[in-house]
Amino acid sequence: LDKPTSGLLLIAKTKPAKAELVRLFTERDVRKTYTAIINGRPTEFSEHTITSSQAHDLGVDVGYFGDRNAGKDIKWQLIDHALEDNDKKTKTAVTIWRPLQCVECSKAADGVLTLVELKPKSGRYHQLRRHMAWVCKRPLVGDRSYSGEIEFKHHFRDHGLYLCSNKVTLPHPYYNTTTGRMAWDAMKDSDPRKYVGGMIRLSADKRKVLVHAEIEVPARFQKLLDSPPEVEKEQTNA
């Protein structure tokens, strides 16, 4: 995670697990979901609208592990916009996103704050922040680097970055090895070690054992949406 981004961290407990996690990230086999609040109303393009089925075909996690949206053909916005990476080379960068909630806020661009869900297929430097600011023309609340000349950006400079990594799904580093899969299959479904309260499950095709972690976004997200800052009205004497 970037320093100002909150959310989940993956930590390897053994050297083999670390090596496997590095491989999974390198091969883009870790599926991530972020939640963010946008300063304004992000631009949506009808020609860039895709369905959940199309997003799934792209290799993006759009509904697993009991997600309330699983099986629904939700509409997403596709951003396919190359970005310069840390090595100064321009590389493909793909993000899908959708708006979840809009609230009125007189201190925000367009008079609204927008809660969005973002799912990157690639993992370029500041990909989500740059895609929203440069392609959708509206930056994340609290983003000091990519707010540009957007109106009212100064109202949120001291709020911190409203970006949270709140879901991650990846193949289990051990249970997908030959030995590990034999151990998984040998465990009874009633064994609490097998599913770890829902964090470990089989993929839909039962070919992979997947780890899924999910957390609530920080309370300050909902607090900002429930009580957005407002421009103080000037009082005049009658």
- Tokens 């321009």 correspond to 90
Set 2, 57, 73, 185: catalytic member: 2
Q: Say what the alpha-carbon torsion angle 4, 43, 53, 59 is, to the nearest 10 degrees.
A: -40
Residue 53: what are its φ and ψ, rounded to 5°?
A: -65, -40
Task: State the Cα–Cα distance between residues 79 and 95, nearest whole angstrom.
Answer: 5
Count of helix runs (H) and strand runs (E) in the chain: 6, 11
18 vs 174: CA distance, rounded Å: 11
**210 CA to centre of own chain:** 18
H helices of 3-112, in order, are: 15-26, 52-57
User: Is 73 annotated in the active site?
Assistant: no
The rounded distance, in Å, linking the Cα atoms of 73 and 96 is 14
Q: How far apart are CA 49 and CA 99, in angstroms?
A: 12
Residue pair 53/73 in contact (Cβ under 8 Å)? The answer is yes
Residues known to be catalytic: 2
